[in-house]
Amino acid sequence: AQSVSQHNHHVILSEAASLELGCNYSYGGTVNLFWYVQYPGQHLQLLLKYFSGDPLVKGIKGFEAEFIKSKFSFNLRKPSVQWSDTAEYFCALGSSNTGKLIFGQGTTLQVKP
């Protein structure tokens, strides 16, 4: 069965600190991986996605993620966080056939000014 696990449920950082949020998935086939973000009071929006090719993908607002097939991981990174990055972050695995998304439980990031 397909599943996604996010290890950090709540992360607190100071501005300018580096960020890495863990995401592991379970699936033996072709993977389509996503990171979505939900800022306070806003709807879910796409940060970045990986389908194939370069395993290091860059998204909006300086975020990037690295797909490591051998580790079944797709961790999200940002070198220097800002207060405006305070949000909930979701990793998701997409079905190749239907596009259905299987989400992790989410990580709440709080950035202190």
Partner 1 sequence: EAGVAQSPRYKIIEKRQSVAFWCNPISGHATLYWYQQILGQGPKLLIQFQNNGVVDDSQLPKDRFSAERLKGVDSTLKIQPAKLEDSAVYLCASSPLAGGTNTQYFGPGTRLTVL
How many whole angstroms separate alpha carbon 8 and alpha carbon 21? 7
**Binder to partner 1 among 1, 28, 40, 43 (CB under 8 A)?**
43
How many whole angstroms separate alpha carbon 91 and alpha carbon 23? 6
Residue 21 exposed, middle or buried by CB count within 10 Å (0-12, 13-18, 19+): buried
**Binder to partner 1 among 49, 63, 80, 112 (CB under 8 A)?**
49
Site residues for partner 1, 83-102, by CB under 8 A, read 90, 92, 94-102
Query: Whole-number minimum distance, CB 9 to partner 1, in Å?
Result: 8
Asked if residue 31 lies in contact with residue 99, where contact means CB atoms within 8 angstroms, the answer is: no
* Under rule CB under 8 A, residue 60 binds partner 1: no
Comparison of 45 and 80: residue with beta carbon closer to partner 1: 45
Where does this chain touch partner 1 (CB under 8 A) — which range of 16-24, 28-36, 57-65, 75-83?
28-36
Q: Which residues pair with 25 in a beta bridge?
A: 4
CA dihedral 8, 9, 13, 19 (to 10 degrees): 40
**Binder to partner 1 among 4, 81, 109, 111 (CB under 8 A)?**
4
* Under rule CB under 8 A, residue 68 binds partner 1: no
